[in-house]
Amino acid sequence: MPHLRTGRSGCTVLRTLGGDLHGAGGRWWIAGLVAAAALVWPAARASELGLAWNPAPGAAGYRVLYGTAPTRLDRQIEVRGATRVVLRNLAECTTWYASVTAYNAAGESAPSPVVSSWPRPAVHALRPRQVTQGDQLGLTVVGTNFAPATRIEVDSAGLYLDVVAQTCGQLDVELTAEPTAAGRRPAQVGTFELRVRSPEGLMAAGPFEIAVDPSRFDVNRSVPSTVGRLDGDDAVWIARRFSGRDGDGVYDPDLDFDGDGWIDGQELAWIGSNFGQCWSGSAWTHSACPPVPGASP
Amino acid sequence: MDAFGLPTGAWGISMKVSAQTYIVLAVLAILVVPSGGCGGSSEMSGGLEASFTAEEPAPGPSSVSLGQAGSSGDRVEVRVQVTDVSGLFGAAFYLTFDPAMATFDGHEPGEILESDGHTPFYLVEEGQPGVIVVSATRLGPVPAVDVTGSRTLMSLRFRVIDVGASGAVFQAGALYGSQLQPEPMPGVSWFGGQIVGR
């Protein structure tokens, strides 16, 4: 039995000539971007929203009714040969309501249950776009259609994001990129998609970079003379825990520089590429090294 | 292969160049070679002969020492030996020498850390002239090695560039066992030596 896919659960049956059309727990989908519209009408940027539904047997076409109130679906668009449509030129930061009917030569079905959503969110800018392990700072996400209860996600273990304030066009986020203390699993480094997810599950994304904190390479600080130096002791410490994986008893998060949950060749490579150098306060350099006792000037 | 270790076929292209080109190349060679400093031939070093004199020719138990592994012309290979140490997982040290007397020329793996077919990890860097930073270690969850007698941890190659002797001195040396948080072994003696150019 065909049914209408909506963003809300429900199962109102719509009588049609070819069968029944149900509202069911489906989904909204989104296509396209608002960028072009934003350029043309910067004061009232138009957004989009995708709608999909299951086919009704015998339907010759569908009529999508939509508007800004459930009782005032004053716009409509006809769809033939497809069961999805992109509703365009929608006012931003506004709840839009939609319903679908099926029709053929014999008539038109009753409308499906009304579904509602803000238009798809969009991310225009992240400030900052890059953070470093150990950072605790405010992240600003600039965009549009950030509905109430919008969430923000990044697939990096050790990165924590908490939305503390939001408007339609901005999310203020408290960001913590571990490790902020010894023994904590570090944020995984790399470029990730920062995703903004609306309550309806609509997503927008922007690239977001997490950088390694190179001061962490100095793992052996057991003796004052080795603090601030990357030398053989640091390499041995990494080597002993080589192949350790998070949770196996060998893994030490303080030695997992890239935060991928492994102590592996990447950690050795970072030691190796800075080997013999000293910490200047911002980077590993040869020039920061004090003379080694016994070395010729 | 020619004297530089290059396939002789690689020079085939140069056979087609003109005599004028040869003259230009010859002039460039005269200008460049004396200042190159990395040719490494014994002729460039004026017939210097390199050797190494160990500080402790008969190292006792629980020690790390240097000894000559071989020499050829102005080059000498110095063996880093470990004597009678139980449970060795890795080693870390600095080695200082007089950069006016010798240059560091590279390193070779040894035999201790390779026990049981293991592939160890070596890091050797001349961070500053006359200071070599070394790490030689096994990797991961493998057993440590018991060293009986004197065996080679690794070798270091030097080229003498002047007549005289340069001390080769260990600094901040540590041998590590296989604890997850490696601790330097106590009571290890470190003996260097002299790089000699004649």
Q: How far apart are alpha carbons A93 and A5 in whole angstroms?
A: 23
**Segments making up each domain of chain B, as ranges:** 1-36, 50-197
Using alpha carbons, select from A91, A90, A92, A87 the residue that is nearest to residue A77: A87
Q: How far is B47 from chain A (nearest CA, A)?
A: 25
The answer to whether B140 faces chain A, any CB pair under 8 Å, is yes
- The pLDDT of residue A53 is above 60: yes
Q: Which residue of B has its CA nearest to A284?
A: B127
Query: What is residue A187's DSSP assignment?
Result: P
The answer to whether B171 faces chain A, any CB pair under 8 Å, is yes
Q: Are A267 and A257 in contact, with CB atoms under 8 Å apart?
A: yes
Best of A218, A223, A233 to disrupt the B interface (most B CBs within 10 Å) is A233
**What φ, ψ does residue A273 adopt, rounded to 5°?**
-75, -10
Q: Has domain B50-197 been given CATH number 3.40.710.10?
A: no
- The pLDDT of residue A1 is above 80: no
Instruction: Out of A23-32, A98-107, A218-227, pick the least confident.
Output: A23-32
Residue A285 bridge partners (DSSP)? A278
b/e code B93-107 from CB counts within 10 Å (16+ = b): bbbbbbbebbbbbeb
Q: Are A97 and A68 in contact, with CB atoms under 8 Å apart?
A: yes
Task: Report chain A residues whose CB lies below 8 A from the CB of B121.
Answer: 235, 239, 242, 268
Q: How far apart are alpha carbons A233 and A239 in whole angstroms?
A: 10
**Which of A222, A252, A294 faces B171 most closely, judged by CB atoms?**
A294
**What φ, ψ does residue A30 adopt, rounded to 5°?**
-125, 145
- The pLDDT of residue A160 is above 50: yes
Helix or strand or coil: residue B143? coil
pLDDT in tens, chain B (198 residues): 333 333 333 332 233 334 444 444 444 344 333 333 333 333 445 689 999 999 999 999 999 999 999 999 999 999 999 999 999 999 999 999 999 999 999 999 999 999 999 999 999 999 789 999 999 999 999 999 999 999 999 999 999 999 999 999 999 899 999 998 888 999 999 999 999 999
Q: Which is more confident, B111 or A204? A: B111
> For residue B133, what are its two tokens?
């930073």
Q: Which amino acid is at B143?
A: P
Q: How far apart are alpha carbons B3 and B15 in whole angstroms?
A: 17
Arithmetic mean of pLDDT, A62-78: 96
Q: How far is B10 from chain A (nearest CA, A)?
A: 33
Using alpha carbons, select from B158, B160, B186, B162 the residue that is nearest to residue B174: B186
Q: Which amino acid is at A26?
A: G
Using alpha carbons, select from B92, B95, B96, B84 the residue that is nearest to residue B58: B84
Q: Give residue A171's pLDDT band: very low, low, confident or very high (50, 70, 90).
A: very high
pLDDT score for A127? 96
- The pLDDT of residue A32 is above 80: no
Q: Which is more confident, A239 or B10? A: A239
Domains within chain A, CATH numbers bracketed: 3-117 (2.60.40.10), 122-211 (2.60.40.10), 214-285 (2.60.40.4130)
pLDDT score for B42? 39
Q: Which is more confident, A28 or A251? A: A251
pLDDT score for A295? 54
Q: Which helix (H) or strand (E) holds B196?
A: strand B193-197
**Prior bond of B120 cis (ω within 30°):** no
Using alpha carbons, select from A203, A56, A53, A55 the residue that is nearest to residue A115: A53
Q: How many residues make up chain B in this entry?
A: 198
C-alpha angle with apex A38: A33 to A43, nearest 5 degrees? 145
Half-sphere exposure of residue A295, counting CA atoms within 13 Å on the CB side? 20
State the greatest distance between any 2 C-alpha atoms of chain B, in Å, as a whole number. Answer: 67
**Prior bond of A179 cis (ω within 30°):** yes
The answer to whether A271 faces chain B, any CB pair under 8 Å, is yes
Q: Judging by DSSP bridges, how do beta strands B164-176 and B193-197 pair with one another?
A: antiparallel
Task: Please list, in sequence order, all residues whose beta carbon lies within 8 angstroms of the beta carbon of residue A286, skipping any fewer than 6 positions away.
Answer: A276, A277, A278, B127, B128
Do residue A276 and residue B176 have CB atoms under 8 angstroms apart? no
- Which 241-270 residues of chain A touch chain B by CB within 8 A? 241-244, 250, 252, 268
Task: Report chain B residues whose CB lies below 8 A from the CB of A273.
Answer: none
Give the percent of chain A with pLDDT over 90. Answer: 74
ipTM: 0.71
Best of A241, A245, A273, A292 to disrupt the B interface (most B CBs within 10 Å) is A292
Helix or strand or coil: residue A117? strand
The answer to whether B41 faces chain A, any CB pair under 8 Å, is no
- The pLDDT of residue A146 is above 80: yes
Distance from the first to the final alpha carbon of chain B: 31
Cα dihedral value B137, B140, B143, B148, nearest 10: -10
CA A162 to chain centre: 13
